[in-house]
Amino acid sequence: MKRILSGNEAIARGVWEAGVRVAAAYPGTPSTEILEELSLAPGVYCEWSTNEKVAVDVAAGAAMAGRRALATMKHVGVNVAADSLFYTSYTGAEAGLVIVSADDPAMHSSQNEQDNRRYAAFMRIPCLDPSDSQECKDFAVAAFELSERFDTPVMLRTTTRINHSSTPVELGERTEIEPERKKFPRDSAKYVMVPANARARHPVVEERLRRITDWADSCPLNRIEWRDRQLGIITAGVAYQYAREVFPQASVLKLGLVHPLPATLIRELAAGVERLIVLEELDPVIEEGVRLMGIACEGKSIFPLMGELDPTVVRAVAAHAGLPVDHAPVAVPAVPKPALPARPPVLCPGCSHRGVFQLLNKKKVAVSGDIGCYTLAFLPPLSALHFCGCMGASIAVAHGAAQSGLQERMVAVIGDSTFYHTGLPALANVAYNKANILTIILDNRTTAMTGHQANPGTGQTLQRQATDAIPLEPLVWALGIRHVATVDSYDLASTARALKELMATNEPAVMIARHACALLPEMRKQYVPLDVMEEKCTGCGICFRIGCPAILKADEVDAKSGKPLALIDRDLCTGCEICAQLCPHDAITFRDQVRMREEGGGEACTLPTLGRS
Amino acid sequence: MDRATNFVLVGVGGQGTLLASNILADIGLAAGLDVKKSEVHGMSQRGGSVVSHVRWHPEAVHSPLVGLGEADILLSFEKLEALRFVEFLKVGGTAVVNETAIVPITVSAGTGVYPRDGELDAALAAVSAHVVKVPGERLAQEAGNVKAANVVLLGAVSRLLPLPEHVWLQCLEQRVPKKFLELNRTAFASGRAVVGA
């Protein structure tokens, strides 16, 4: 019986079938669902670690202890984890250790494009690159076998299009492996990487890579599909699917193992075809390898270096290069189209970050941002975020700018999960070196951007176990920061007051702006949609400038100004009251007014403005 | 069912395109076809445009993505998104368009203008004469819940394909919670009725 699984579901299934015992990750698109799925399966300890480096250390510890272990992350998570990954290449382990790197060509949800097959080569470890969900599952199993056979960590590298595509998968059974080891190994020559030991391990690593290279030619994950000899294609990952789609007649060397490369198979294909091309997404990794063997081929001279491939792109550039394609590029008729309004992702209705950014925008301060939903506050109309680099960078970038002698007090904003990820050492640095900045921790009680995962502040683990939430206030206090305020980020007046006070000092300060994400299930139960009182609205437009998707322009206009009145979409409004607090004409109802009206307790529009209690 | 079929589903994050594309993939598999489905999660869910690709083939689907001009059926949950992604529609293919407008924030912010119905009609007409407009939200509301608009749309799509109705209903049954099954059956039937007998 086949089931349709996403690549991520299939990887989870594969590592489970392989008898994995420990799995760790930090959420990151497109990798997140692997651990979410695996955490529901019996017999596996799964955790959200505080960051990717920690996740790799956790998996490495379990593998050294003799249990098959997994760490998963998005491509840029590998940057965070790289320090740990490099030592695992030298130490190896006592049981299989597999790292999933989910790359994001086209940067659907990322700050940069990078091809992590490069990391595998850099670290001298094997890299598997599946082409559909069945291979995701099969390669996950194979990765553990390969890891143990050669005593090496193995990278299972995917791309967004593999992680988030779904294809039929034949399921297997779990191989339960009873761990023999009761104690951590005492093998300092292998596991204590001081210079003397590491020098002895490096030749072992190089020799291991040579043995894997020899094996690559007989690796069952690599195969030549002989068809017409006019064109030969070396390809891997999702690009294999585009090769089969666009060049159905071509002979193909389909690589499952993309590092190291199988020299004999490559030579065999090259010798058997008239024209040899390499079709791969992002970097010319295979192409460079083929050229190093002294074999002529074409690759990036035809296909794009950046972004995702797709059949349309591949067919167009291939036809242009005179390659035999399945059919001419489809002529898309000229469509008469007006300029279309963009539909960018936005802060949701009821987003607990909106009020803070409205105030920051009003104060015109420079804001160093971080990775999370709140990054969207850089967009108009809030336009209140002026830097975003990578996870945890907000605080130290503001710190560096401040220490350089800026004439303005900078603000760093960082979400709760991102703060625990890599913000914490940066804030310790602020406290230690006394930077003149305000750090705002936007604590919405969850890891919202990636789909509401638990984190060290939520009091719950990935596998739904209750745990102690790490409280931010005593943590910040313990660092030695003495200007600390906690506010309800739905309460604009208090937030503004705290912001004013904390901006007035010249010392490190922290504001914890707390309100749970409006999309959390317990918050969804508390929605009270608000209304605009038409007779009070003047169409002044102040509520349009907070970028709330629930506030629309009405067809009705104000008699005096001729400007459109505000209208609240009751299906979208959660009743956060940010707009109601900002409205200078008291034209938007507060929740209490809505409730009183619904209970028949009087005419809402005749009540004085209630404000927040 | 012996022919390859490409679907492109477009809409706005939160409209239920995911459930619809899951059901389409299930249907293909139930009909004995090879199936692939692709979508992108993450940022796009925060109220942005969303696109899913579903492909059926009697032998083997290779690419998970449908090429431009190669969608037999463009299923749009929202009018502006139909216009945005009209280039996916095959010449002579069928566009199924939900008659719903979700005005993007850029329009309230004053940096964009929502297109008129006539502009949408003209763009679709340039690619194909086969356009099915579905009052998805109204029919879903009549069936008992406005959120079932995605199932109304699937009902409309089901009339365009040579598969027995019971295959659709079985897959629907597996994907929706039991207590909403009757509602969804009604929604599905009303969508089918839009395309006619």
Which residue in B29, B42, B87 is closest to A29 by CB distance? B42
pLDDT level of residue B46 (50, 70, 90 thresholds): low
pLDDT greater than 80 at residue A535:
yes
pLDDT greater than 80 at residue B47:
no
Strands A45-48 and A22-25, bridge-based pairing: parallel
A350 contacts A333 by C-beta, under 8 angstroms: no
* DSSP state letter for A95: S
Separation between Cα atoms, residue A386 and residue A379, nearest integer Å: 10
Which ranges constitute the DSSP H helices of A106-249? 117-123, 133-150, 160-163, 188-191, 195-216, 238-246
CB atoms within 10 A of CB A36: 19
Separation between Cα atoms, residue B78 and residue B104, nearest integer Å: 11
The residue assigned the tokens 């995702």 is: A308
pLDDT greater than 80 at residue B155:
yes
Q: Kindly report which listed range (A243-252, A340-349, A369-378, B54-63) carries the lowest average pLDDT score.
A: A340-349
Exposure pattern of B135-168 as b/e (b: 16+ CB <10 Å)? bbbebbbebeebbbbbbbbbbbbbbbbeeeeebb
Minimum CA–CA partner of B68 in chain A: A312
Which residue in A161, A334, A342 is closest to B106 by CB distance? A342
Instruction: With residue A248 as reference, give the H or E element that holds it.
Output: none
Q: In what order do the strands lie in the sheet with A250-255?
A: A223-225, A250-255, A228-236, A275-279
CB contact under 8 A, A343 and B123: no
Residues 419-458 of A with CB under 8 A from B: 449-451
Instruction: State the average pLDDT over residues A374-392.
Output: 96
Tell me the sheet residues that pair with B39.
Answer: B52
pLDDT greater than 70 at residue A592:
yes
pLDDT tens profile B30-41: 999 999 999 976
* Structure confidence at residue A599 (pLDDT): 83
pLDDT level of residue B110 (50, 70, 90 thresholds): confident
CATH number, domain at B147? 3.40.920.10
pLDDT tens profile A62-109: 999 999 999 999 999 999 999 999 999 999 999 999 999 999 999 999
pLDDT greater than 60 at residue B73:
yes
Taking contacts as CB-CB distances below 8 angstroms, the residues of chain B near A337 are 83, 86, 119, 123
Is B38 part of the contact surface with chain A (CB cutoff 8 Å)?
yes
Is A111 part of the contact surface with chain B (CB cutoff 8 Å)?
no
Q: Which fold has domain A354-523?
A: Rossmann fold (3.40.50)
What type of residue is A99?
I
Name the minimum distance, in Å, from the CA of A506 to any CA of chain B: 36
pLDDT tens profile A386-440: 999 999 999 999 999 999 999 999 999 999 999 999 999 999 999 999 999 999 9
pTM of the model as a whole: 0.96
Residues 45-104 of A with CB under 8 A from B: none
Which residue in B40, B46, B105 is closest to A108 by CB distance? B40
Taking contacts as CB-CB distances below 8 angstroms, the residues of chain A near B29 are 2, 4, 168
Residue B66, domain extent: 5-195
Vertex A192: Cα angle to A191 and A194 (nearest 5): 140
* Structure confidence at residue B43 (pLDDT): 57
What type of residue is A422?
T
B16 contacts B150 by C-beta, under 8 angstroms: yes
Is B115 part of the contact surface with chain A (CB cutoff 8 Å)?
yes
Mutate to test the interface with B, among A2, A309, A340, A373 (most CBs of B within 10 A): A340
Q: What percent of chain B has pLDDT over 70?
A: 96
Domains A2-216 and A527-606 are alike in CATH topology: no
Is A165 part of the contact surface with chain B (CB cutoff 8 Å)?
yes
Minimum CA–CA partner of A336 in chain B: B123
CB contact under 8 A, B46 and A346: yes
Which residue in B35, B47, B48 is closest to A4 by CB distance? B35
CB atoms within 10 A of CB A506: 10
What average pLDDT does the structure give for chain A?
Answer: 96
**CATH (one of 3.30.70.20, 1.20.1250.20, 3.40.50.150, 3.30.70.100) for A527-606:** 3.30.70.20
CB contact under 8 A, B86 and A337: yes
Helix axes A133-150, A7-17, angle to 10 degrees: 40
A193 contacts A153 by C-beta, under 8 angstroms: no
Instruction: State the average pLDDT over residues A592-604.
Output: 76
Which residue in A168, A340, A344 is closest to B84 by CB distance? A340
* Structure confidence at residue B2 (pLDDT): 74
Is A29 part of the contact surface with chain B (CB cutoff 8 Å)?
yes
Instruction: State the average pLDDT over residues B62-90.
Output: 97
Q: What's the token pair of residue A48?
A: 């959200």
pLDDT tens profile A476-490: 999 999 999 999 999
CATH for the stretch A2-216: 3.40.50.970
* In chain A, domain spans: 2-216, 223-320, 354-523, 527-606
What is the widest separation between alpha-carbon atoms in chain B? 49
Angstrom CA distances, B43 to A29, A126, A212, stand at: 9, 31, 39
pLDDT tens profile A438-475: 999 999 999 999 999 999 999 999 999 999 999 999 99
Secondary structure class of B16 (helix, strand, coil): coil
Find all residues with CB under 8 Å of A310, minimum gap 6, and list them.
A242, B63, B65, B67
Taking contacts as CB-CB distances below 8 angstroms, the residues of chain B near A346 are 46-48, 105
Find all residues with CB under 8 Å of A227, minimum gap 6, and list them.
A248, A249, A250, A251, A252
Name the minimum distance, in Å, from the CA of B166 to any CA of chain A: 20
A427 contacts A395 by C-beta, under 8 angstroms: yes
Taking contacts as CB-CB distances below 8 angstroms, the residues of chain A near B114 are 341
Q: What's the token pair of residue A239?
A: 């690009």
Separation between Cα atoms, residue A32 and residue A70, nearest integer Å: 13
Name the minimum distance, in Å, from the CA of A167 to any CA of chain B: 5
pLDDT greater than 80 at residue A608:
no
pLDDT greater than 60 at residue A610:
no
A468 contacts A459 by C-beta, under 8 angstroms: yes
Return the closest-CA partner of residue A442 out of A500, A506, A371, A523: A371
What type of residue is A205?
V
pLDDT tens profile A133-175: 999 999 999 999 999 999 999 999 999 999 999 999 999 999 9
Separation between Cα atoms, residue A81 and residue A77, nearest integer Å: 6
Minimum CA–CA partner of B116 in chain A: A338
Secondary structure class of B159 (helix, strand, coil): coil
The yes/no answer on whether domain A223-320 falls in CATH 3.40.50.920 is yes
pLDDT tens profile A27-55: 999 999 999 999 999 999 999 999 999 99
DSSP track, A547-592: --TTEEEEEEE-TTT-PEEEEE-TTT-----HHHHH-TT--B--HH
Cis peptide before A220 (omega within 30 of 0): no
Is A376 part of the contact surface with chain B (CB cutoff 8 Å)?
yes
Separation between Cα atoms, residue B25 and residue B33, nearest integer Å: 10
Separation between Cα atoms, residue A479 and residue A474, nearest integer Å: 9
Q: Domain count of chain B?
A: 1
Mutate to test the interface with A, among B6, B76, B108, B128 (most CBs of A within 10 A): B108
